[in-house]
Chains A and B, each alone.
Chain A
Amino acid sequence: MSALGDRPIRLLIADDHPVVRDGLSGMFAADPDFAVVGEAADGSQALRLADAVRPDVILMDLRMPGMDGVTAIAELARRGNPAHVLVLTTYDTDSYVLPAIEAGATGYLLKDAPRDELLRAVRAAAAGQSVLAPSVATRLMHRVRAPEPELLSHRELEVLGLVAAGTTNRETAARLFISEATVKTHLLHIYAKLGVTDRAAAVAEAFNRGLLTPGRSGAREP
C-alpha cells in the first residue's frame, strides 16, 4: 500500500556510487509502491533532476564530490521544492546529522538499515513524517538537552573564547577595543549563566556543554 493513495511514490536516488544507486534502484523497483524516477551522482545533478522530475522523496547521500548532500538539501528548501529528503549515509556524527536536519532533511537513515526499514522510511518520508536511525535520534536528543545556543550572547562567547585561549582581561579588552571593566562585566554574566565562580571553571563548563569546541575558541589563529 502506497502512502500516496493509488499511485507509486516517486523516488530520486542521489549517491555518488553507481553500485549503491543500482542496489537501491533494484530494491525499490521490486516493489510496485515505488517508482524510481531519477538517479543523481552528486548534489547539483540531484537539484536539476528534482526540478525536472518532481519526486516525492529524495534519498540523499551526504558525501558526494562536487555539491554535497547538505548543500543540496538547503538549496532544495530555498527553492521551495516540495520533495521530502531522506538522508541515507554512512555517517552518524554530529557534524553530519545536525547540518542535514537543520538544512531541512525529513529523515536520516544509515546505510546499514535493513531493507524493510528503508522501505518503511521512504513511505513515512513521502507522508512528511520524520524517520531517524536510532543513533541519530540519540544525537538529536542530546542536542535538545544541551543548553540553548543562545545561553551566551555572541559577545560573551567571544570573550570566553579569548579567555579559553589564555588571554588576560587586559588583552581581551585591547583585542575587542573596549574597557577592561566591560570585559569583567561580561565575565560576571558568563559565570552566572554557567553557574561557576571563576574563569577556569567557566572555560571547562563551556567545553563540557559544547559552547566552545577545541580549536574553535574564537581567539586562536589557525
Chain B
Amino acid sequence: MYGIPAQVTTTGATRPVDPEVEFALLRAAQEALANVARHANATRVGLTISYMDSEVALDVRDDGVGFDPAVPDRGFGLVAMRQRIAALSGTLQVESEPGGGTAISACVPTVPALAG
C-alpha cells in the first residue's frame, strides 16, 4: 500500500488471542500503517508481532522523517489507539525523533488478570 514495502515478522509461539485483543492490535496496526503512509515519507516499514509468554506486542517501525513526540498529538489517531489498548490493560508506546523514523508499540497482556 502506498508503494512502501512492508515487512511482516512474527516471533515467538503464535497462538490465538482474545478477539478483543486481536481487534485492538489490528486497529493499531492499521492506524500506524496509515500514519506511515501519510506522514513518514518512509522507504521501509516493518510490522512485527511478538508473541511472548503472557503478552503480545505489535510494533510498527519505519525509517521515515519521524517527529518530536513531545509536541502534542497532531491528530494521528494515537489518542484513540492508546485508549483502546489501555482498556485491555495494555500499553502504547510511541518512539520517534525528527529524522530518526518512528516506532509504535502496542503491547497487550494475553493472560487475563486475576480479579481484584
Contact = CB atoms under 8 A, between A and B. Distances in A.
Q: Do A and B bind each other?
A: yes
Interface of A: 153-155, 173, 176-182, 185-186, 189
Contact of A180 (B12, B44, B103): B103
Given A177-B9, A177-B44, 5 more contacts: A153-B12, A153-B52, A179-B103, A179-B104, A182-B57
Given A178-B50, A179-B59, A182-B59, A173 B11 contact: no
6 contacts: A178-B46, A178-B59, A179-B93, A179-B95, A180-B103, A182-B50
A153 B13 contact: yes
Interface of B: 7, 9, 11-13, 44, 46, 48, 50, 52-53, 55, 57, 59, 61, 91, 93, 95, 103-105, 107
Contact of A178 (B52, B53, B91, B103): B103
A27 B75 CA distance: 85
Contacts of B11: 153-155
Tell me the interface secondary structure of chain B in the complex. Answer: strand
Tell me the interface secondary structure of chain A in the complex. Answer: helix
B28 to A, nearest CB: 12
Contacts of A154: 11
The CB with the most chain B CB atoms within 10 A, among A154, A181, A189, is that of A181
A182 B107 contact: yes
A180 to B, nearest CB: 6
Contact of B48 (A153, A177, A180, A189): A177
Given A153-B11, A153-B13, A155-B12, A181 B53 contact: no
B102 to A, nearest CB: 9
A182 to B, nearest CB: 5
B82 to A, nearest CB: 13
Contact of B93 (A153, A177, A181, A186): A181
Contacts of A179: 59, 61, 93, 95, 103-105
A188 to B, nearest CB: 9
Contacts of A178: 46, 48, 50, 59, 61, 103, 105
A96 to B, nearest CB: 31
A86 to B, nearest CB: 37
A154 B11 CA distance: 8
A173 B50 CA distance: 13
Contacts of B95: 173, 179-181
B100 to A, nearest CB: 9
The CB with the most chain B CB atoms within 10 A, among A153, A155, A176, A178, is that of A178
Contacts of B50: 155, 178, 182, 185-186
A177 B61 contact: yes
B103 A189 contact: no
B103 A173 contact: yes
B111 to A, nearest CB: 13
Contacts of B48: 176-178, 182
